Amino acid sequence: MKAFEANFDGLVGPTHNYAGLSFGNVASQNNQDAPSNPREAAKQGLVKMKALHDMGLVQGVLAPQERPDVHTLRRLGLSGSDADVLFQARQQAPAILAACCSASSMWTANAATVSPSADTLDGRVHFTPANLTNKFHRSIEHETTGRILQATFSDDKHFAHHQALPGAEHFGDEGAANHTRFCTEYGEQGVEFFVHGRYAFDSSKPAPQKYPARHTFEAAEAVARLHGLNMGKVVIAQQNPDVIDQGVFHNDVIAVGNRNLLFCHQEAFLNQDEVKKELHKRFGEGFRVTEVPSDKVSVQDAVKTYLFNSQLLALPNGKTLLVIPEECRGNPRVWAYVEELLASDSGIDAVKVFDLKQSMCNGGGPACLRLRVVLNEAEHAAMNQHALMSDQLFATLNGWVDKHYRDRLTEAELADPQLLIESRTALDELTRILNLGAVYQFQR
Ligand code: SUG
């Protein structure tokens, strides 16, 4: 049966702000306290989704989360009315309040790991929401993420949903940001490639010194087991600890792959030659690697421009498109390299640039904003059709953003009880637009 890759982008939530929450993510730290523009952020994301839809690709939308998360604040001992909880949090625990207001679920590359039905033992598409344990503001996403994924892919004949891994740092799991699937045809068995930052149960192995390694080897192995993957078609590799220390907090900041192509930086992996050999061996004939040398694009430039946080897309005509952020065009070395890619036999045929500045300032590029789900025609027909991008949905969501979103938000305003009311009103309406049912705690 014909299969293809669908992209599910996270819709930016109404509380999008810059709180400097992600140690090890250089952009997040550098933009702490800058005012944000949630309306513009949401619209920049919608423009990308609509453009991909217009190219003939299957594009979906995943709803944002309920923020401020007063339920978590209550678990942490803040009490009274919702307004009281916010007020007290601002007085007593402003950093925790900021964490409970983050719109970070927009980066759906971290929502889950997804294995297509062609790779799994029971022939279903498997989803494991990522526990995101390394960052408190992200560790509170997975329950609602799981509900949104179930509401989007609800037919258990086709879709299997797992619980997130145990929420201890030993099983730190950052989801698809550290997972790539290679294949010849989407509907045939592929090679699943998991990348981790450290070993939790083996301290003899190398690890970064300055910034945290968020994802463990043990988490990667556990997800491969849960999904019923054929271990002969799985490669698990370690990220180069030195690049984590330079701000590569997820593998998708330094490598991207699709079909038979891995596009990566020369310094992406520990023992890179071995990793490439292993991928060639498991994939068989036709695997190729386009490796970018450090003297053309430094790790620093990769982190600044997010060249590798790109989407490698198979267009309906079979050509490969690279979707990159505007920051790449603004950097002469990176842009010269992109031009070289297009002029050479790189496996990349075309490039499209998007302005995603609102997300980029928090360290989220085009690839962070999307979760890839390979679907065959039957699975595509079985999923929630209301979550699929269309001319109509694009117009509806733009109108919805105009109606509910602010065009400026600062950290000082996060405790404004009106923001909570605005956010819940917007999300309540969104669940009807996307036909999700009661996925939020305030609706249950
Ligand atoms: O987890 N930033 C996100 C960015 C995630 C990018 N995703 C991928 N590479 N796939 C993170 O670090 C910053 C929020 C703040 O500082 O306000 C933040 O959470």
Measure CA 348 to chain center. 22
Atom of ligand 1 nearest to the CA of 102: 17
CA 370 to CA 2: how far, in whole Å? 22
In this structure, what token pair is assigned to residue 28?
């997040």
Between the CA atoms of 379, 147, 60 and 305, what dihedral angle is there, to the nearest 10 degrees? -130
Q: What is the distance in A from the centroid of ligand 1 to the CA of 28?
A: 7
- Buried b / exposed e over 220-247, threshold 16 CB at 10 Å, is bbbbbebbebeeebbbbbbbbbebbbbb
SS3 424: helix
For residue 113, the SS3 value is strand
The two beta strands, 58-62 and 3-10, are parallel
Q: What does the buried/exposed string (b/e) look like for 410-440 if buried means 16 or more CB atoms within 10 Å of the residue's CB?
A: ebeebbbbebbebbbebbeebbebbebeebb
Instruction: Tell which atom from ligand 1 comes closest to the C-alpha of 22.
Output: 12
Give yes or no: 161 in active site. no
Catalytic residue among 192, 368, 380, 404: 368
For residue 253 and ligand 1, the question of a CB distance below 6 A is answered with yes
Q: Which of 12, 18, 21, 303 to mutate to test the pocket of ligand 1 (most atoms within 8 A of CB)?
A: 21
Let me know the angle formed at the C-alpha of 349 by 348 and 355, rounded to the nearest 5 degrees: 85
Residue nearest to atom 1 of ligand 1 (CA): 22
Q: In terms of Cα–Cα distance, which of 362, 299, 352 is closest to 321?
A: 352
194: Cβ below 6 Å to ligand 1? no
- Ligand 1 within 6 A of CB of 256: no
Distance, in Å, from the CA atom of 205 to the CA atom of 203, rounded to the nearest integer, reads 5
- Asked if residue 58 lies in contact with residue 4, where contact means CB atoms within 8 angstroms, the answer is yes
Q: What residues of the chain score a pLDDT lower than 70? A: none
Ligand 1 nearest atom to the CA of residue 132, by list position: 1
Is ligand 1 within 6 A of the CB of residue 238?
no
Q: Considering only CA atoms, which residue is closest to atom 6 of ligand 1? A: 364
Ligand 1 proximity of 365 Cβ (cutoff 6 Å): no
* Per-residue model confidence (pLDDT) at position 1: 82
Residue 359 to residue 343: CA distance in whole angstroms = 30
What element of type H or E holds 421?
helix 417-433
Res 7: pLDDT:
98
Ligand 1: residue of 31, 133, 249, 358 to mutate (most ligand atoms within 8 A of CB) is 249
26 lines ligand 1 (CB under 6 A): no
Closest atom, ligand 1, to C-alpha of 309: 9
| 174 assigned to active site | yes
C-alpha torsion angle, residues 335, 337, 339, 345 (rounded to 10): -160
3-67+102-443 carries CATH number 3.75.10.20: yes
Ligand 1 pocket, residue 368 CB under 6 Å: yes
Q: Please tell me the number of Cα atoms within 13 Å of 166 on its side-chain side.
A: 6
Is the beta carbon of 41 within 6 A of some atom in ligand 1? Answer: no
- CB of 180 within 6 A of ligand 1: the answer is no
Q: Catalytic residue at 192?
A: no
C-beta of 252 in contact with ligand 1 (< 6 A): yes
Nearest Cα residue to atom 5 of ligand 1: 364
How far apart (Å, rounded) are the C-alpha atoms in residues 43 and 49? 10
Q: Taken in order 421, 426, 432, 438, is the CA torsion positive or negative?
A: negative
Q: Which atom of ligand 1 is nearest to the CA of 109?
A: 10
Q: What is the pTM of this model?
A: 0.98
Among 161, 250, 265, 380, the one annotated catalytic: 250
The helices-and-strands tally (H runs, E runs) of the chain is: 17, 15
CB of 256 within 8 A of CB of 367?
yes
Q: For 257-309, give the DSSP string.
A: EETTEEEEETTSBTTHHHHHHHHHHHH-TT-EEEEE-TTTS-HHHHHHH-TTS
Let me know the angle formed at the C-alpha of 435 by 431 and 441, rounded to the nearest 5 degrees.
40
In order, the DSSP letters of 201-248 are S-TTS---SSS----BHHHHHHHHHHTTB-GGGEEEEEBPHHHHTTT-
Contact (Cβ atoms closer than 8 angstroms) between residue 355 and residue 25 = no
**Number of other residues whose CB lies within 10 A of the CB of residue 262:** 24
Q: List all residues 6 or more positions away from 294 whose beta carbon is below 8 Å from its beta carbon.
A: 265, 266, 267
Looking from the CA of residue 98, the nearest atom of ligand 1 is 17
Q: What is the pLDDT of residues 104-155, one digit of tens each?
A: 999 999 999 999 999 999 999 999 999 999 999 999 999 999 999 999 999 9
Q: How far is the C-alpha of 212 from the C-alpha of 8, rounded, in Å? A: 27
Q: Do 196 and 239 meet the contact criterion of CB atoms below 8 Å apart?
A: yes
Q: Is the distance from the beta carbon of residue 120 to the nearest atom of ligand 1 less than 6 Å?
A: no
Q: How far apart are the first and last CA of the chain?
A: 39
3-state secondary structure 359-386: HHCCCCCCCCCEEEEEEEHHHHHHCCHH
